[in-house]
């Protein structure tokens, strides 16, 4: 990259802050370098970008085909009013997002990555956290690695949203994205990244039902892995400023939204990059 571009490493096992370029005006050579940086560090943070929706989509498409171009992740209605903080189905999906997860593991094809931008942020809270599942796997003791090497779990949005009393309803504003996937995708607990060859954990809130275990045993193991993975220097939480943009590799990072006063507005925009079917399909969808 040109010397005008600044890359600052987070004090974590992953992630860099990239400054000195305008994402809306990237040259091909810069885009190629950003892709390499993304694969190496998994999370790229770009302050003060203020991307329009079209600019965000154009940027996301540099990293692959799109699962969907763009959607608001927001507790604000189109008329500017704040949604009911308890009973609104959109808010129920936001509450679910506050648990650690990978995007679209509940879809037949897991997402490759995501672009996220901040348009309105609350006074406090509302951060986004990421957790490094490659470093988490590498930190496991050998007994646990051996135990989980050949285990797989189902992933379901219906399962993960049930605790929030969130289910598809004809009169709901929630689109139902992910609710209608049948059968639920079946995915290994240990995933090999298709571009780095490194192993990582594939777990999170959508995972359940490991065959050969009782429901309680499966949940206990998945909870244990989640708790172990999401701690220490494997975790980074970003405090948003309006105009920030990020892209992360969904194949080796989990993420979560953090709580905030849901009577305050938080407006983000999300673009999701489609995974390659050969490497990101559920085992029962290959």
pLDDT in tens, 125-153: 999 999 999 999 999 999 999 999 999 99
* CATH code (residue 84): 3.60.130.10
Q: Is the pLDDT of residue 5 over 90?
A: no
Per-residue pLDDT band at 2 (split at 50, 70, 90): very low
pLDDT score recorded for residue 238: 98
pLDDT score recorded for residue 177: 83
Question: Is 114 inside any structural domain?
Answer: yes
The tokens 């929706």 sit on which residue? 53
Residues 161-177, mean pLDDT to the nearest whole number: 79
Question: Is 18 inside any structural domain?
Answer: yes
Question: Is 219 inside any structural domain?
Answer: yes
DSSP 184: P
Q: Minimal CA–CA distance to 229: which of 152, 144, 125?
A: 144
Question: Is 81 inside any structural domain?
Answer: yes
- How many domains are there within the chain? 1
Peptide bond connecting 183 to the previous residue in cis, omega within 30 degrees of 0: yes
DSSP 112: S
Q: Is the pLDDT of residue 230 over 60?
A: yes
Which range marks the domain in which residue 143 is found? 6-285
Full-model pTM:
0.96
pLDDT score recorded for residue 191: 97
Question: Mind listing the pLDDT tens digit for each residue in 66-108?
Answer: 999 999 999 999 999 999 999 999 999 999 999 999 999 999 9
To which H or E segment does residue 145 belong?
helix 142-148
Question: Is 52 inside any structural domain?
Answer: yes
Token digits of residue 250? 């969904």
Question: Is 1 inside any structural domain?
Answer: no
Task: Report how far residue 137's alpha carbon sits from residue 10's, in angstroms, rounded to the nearest whole number.
Answer: 20
């Amino acid at each position: 990259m040109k010397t005008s571009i600044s890359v600052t490493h987070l004090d974590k096992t992953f992630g860099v802050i990239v400054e000195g370029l305008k994402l809306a005006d990237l040259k091909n050579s810069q885009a190629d370098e950003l892709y390499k940086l993304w694969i190496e560090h998994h999370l790229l943070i770009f302050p003060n970008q203020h991307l329009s929706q079209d600019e965000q989509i154009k940027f996301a498409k540099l990293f692959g085909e799109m699962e969907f171009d763009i959607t608001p992740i927001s507790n604000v209605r189109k008329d500017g009013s704040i949604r009911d903080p308890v009973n609104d189905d959109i808010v129920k999906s936001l509450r679910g997002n506050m648990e650690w997860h990978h995007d679209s593991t509940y879809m037949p094809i897991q997402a490759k990555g995501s672009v996220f931008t901040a348009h309105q942020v609350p006074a406090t809270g509302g951060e986004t956290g990421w957790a490094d599942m490659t470093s988490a796997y590498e930190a496991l003791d050998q007994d646990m690695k051996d135990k989980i090497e050949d285990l797989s779990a189902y992933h379901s949005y219906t399962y993960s949203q049930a605790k929030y009393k969130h289910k598809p309803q004809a009169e709901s504003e929630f689109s139902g994205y992910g609710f209608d996937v049948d059968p639920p995708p079946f995915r290994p607990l240990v995933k090999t990244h298709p571009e780095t060859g490194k192993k990582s954990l594939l777990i999170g809130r959508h995972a359940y039902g490991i065959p050969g275990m009782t429901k309680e045993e499966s949940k206990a193991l998945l909870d244990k892995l989640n708790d172990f993975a999401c701690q220490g220097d494997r975790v980074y939480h970003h405090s948003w400023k309006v105009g920030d943009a990020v892209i992360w590799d969904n194949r080796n990072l989990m993420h979560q939204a953090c709580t905030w006063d849901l009577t305050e507005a938080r407006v983000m925009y999300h673009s999701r990059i489609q995974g390659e079917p050969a490497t990101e399909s559920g085992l029962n969808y290959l």
